[in-house]
Amino acid sequence: LVVERLGLPGGPADMSDWEALVHRMQRRTRQVNVALVGKYVQLHDAYMSVVEALKHSGIFHGARVAIQWVDSEGLESEDLDDVLGGCDGVLVPGGFGERGIEGKVAAAGWARENGVPYLGICLGMQVGVVEIARSLAGMRGANSSEFDRETAWPVIDLLPEQKDIEDKGATMRLGAQPVHLRPGTRAAAAYGVETVAQRHRHRYEVSLELRGALEEAGMVVSGTSPDGRLVEVIELSDHPWYVASQFHPEFVSRPTRPEPLFRDFVAAMVVQRYGESAAAGHGAGTVG
């Protein structure tokens, strides 16, 4: 209509990608169940981008993705097996504030201990680091200094240049930033390139001082800022699929181009439930 109205030259629209998308949607025969663990789960729209990214990846793999909405605050006092036991994957998205944090840490730990695919986003990566520090690195009481200023192990902390900032308006790490991926990791396999640009919205980072100890305990740093200073992606090599990013991959997912981390997370869930390749011929990255 716009082309016609403006008198611009244009031929028939190429709808082949959308036709293929609809064809895949109509032929979905499988379903996987993901626990989305957050503190705003009563308002599903708070996680709309995450939900859509899961849908995109489910369609890619010929599967419906059923979301189990898990209140992280309630999870602190509930039996994890009862709540998460029927799930093929656990996803902890971004968020702010202390409420429900221990439930998110517990969810990340449950996924790690039970070999269930885990995707952490922003705060979801940070709680994963906290859990790894406590359980694998021997850092009892490890936490983010955002939530416990007295912790002896602030594995998530403000960068030195952030500590003296008093005016909080627009002083976070915001917008698209380059991420360098470590060859041979699941993150690198997912993207298939050495560097990607991803969107950020955060202030706290993996501690520069404690990063080495975390890596010695088994945490793989698979993505960093180009200078190698800031941790952008972590994963566990001895786990079927445990990947978490400081950036927000959900913001760049599209129906015909599912975001690679989400795509491979859903692939891992399909393997978890059905024990078979998720997307033969679709070119998905390694899922374990």
Active site members: 122, 248, 250
Question: Which residues does residue 178 pair with via DSSP β-bridges, in sequence order?
Answer: 197
> How many Å apart are CA 143 and CA 157, to the nearest integer?
9
Task: Work out the burial of residue 154: count CB atoms within 10 Å of its CB; fewer than 13 is exposed, 13-18 middle, 19 or more buried.
Answer: buried
Whether the Cβ atoms of residue 111 and residue 117 lie closer than 8 Å to each other: yes
> How many Å apart are CA 239 and CA 250, to the nearest integer?
23
Q: How many CB atoms lie within 10 A of CB 145?
A: 17
H-run or E-run covering 242: strand 242-245
Q: How many CB atoms lie within 10 A of CB 229?
A: 11
